[in-house]
Amino acid sequence: MEKLYWSDKLAFNNDKIDNQHKEIFELVNEMIETEKLFPKSEKFAEILSKLTDYGRYHFKTEEALMQSSTYPNFNEHFKEHQEYIYQVAMFNVNFKDGDYTEPAVVLTYVRN
């Protein structure tokens, strides 16, 4: 799978948010770059946890900014955040329960 590359077209012109988005790209790229990333590996579990934790941190920051600027369509965007957190958390739960999700499935989800 091809790595993600940051582009100025993706920028929100807010350094804090843009840097957080870049960090998410790095996490996704870490998953892409890890050779032989197996569904049962510790490295996969580590990246899943980072995606969940950092996603929550980032969304809190982004949502606070959106609310303070009366962002249009906030409720829709908030729902997208909640869906992401739920899905990535479920990847984690599945890992812990031994119902491993293939890394390619996780990558496809977070890339979209």
| Max CA separation in the chain (angstroms) | 44
Neighbours of 105 (CB within 10 A): 12
Neighbours of 93 (CB within 10 A): 12
Global pTM exceeds 0.75:
yes
Lookup result for tokens 């950092």: 54
Q: Mean pLDDT, the chain, as a whole number?
A: 90
Q: Answer yes or no: is 6 within a domain.
A: no
The arithmetic mean of pLDDT across residues 67-93, rounded, is 93
Residue 5 resides in a domain: no
- Within-domain flag for 7: no
How much is the average pLDDT of 44-49? 89
Residue 25 lies in a domain: yes
CA pair distance 65, 23, nearest whole angstrom: 18
The CATH number of residue 84's host domain is 1.20.120.50
- Percent residues over pLDDT 70 in the chain: 99
Q: Does residue 65 have a pLDDT over 90?
A: yes
Query: With 80 as the cut, is the pLDDT of residue 111 above it?
Result: yes
In a domain, residue 1? The reply is no
Which tens digits make up the pLDDT trace of 92-102?
888 888 888 88
User: Residue 24 is part of which domain span?
Assistant: 15-31+38-111
Kindly report, residue by residue over 17-44, the tens digit of the pLDDT: 999 999 999 999 998 888 677 778 888 8
Tally the domains of the chain.
Answer: 1
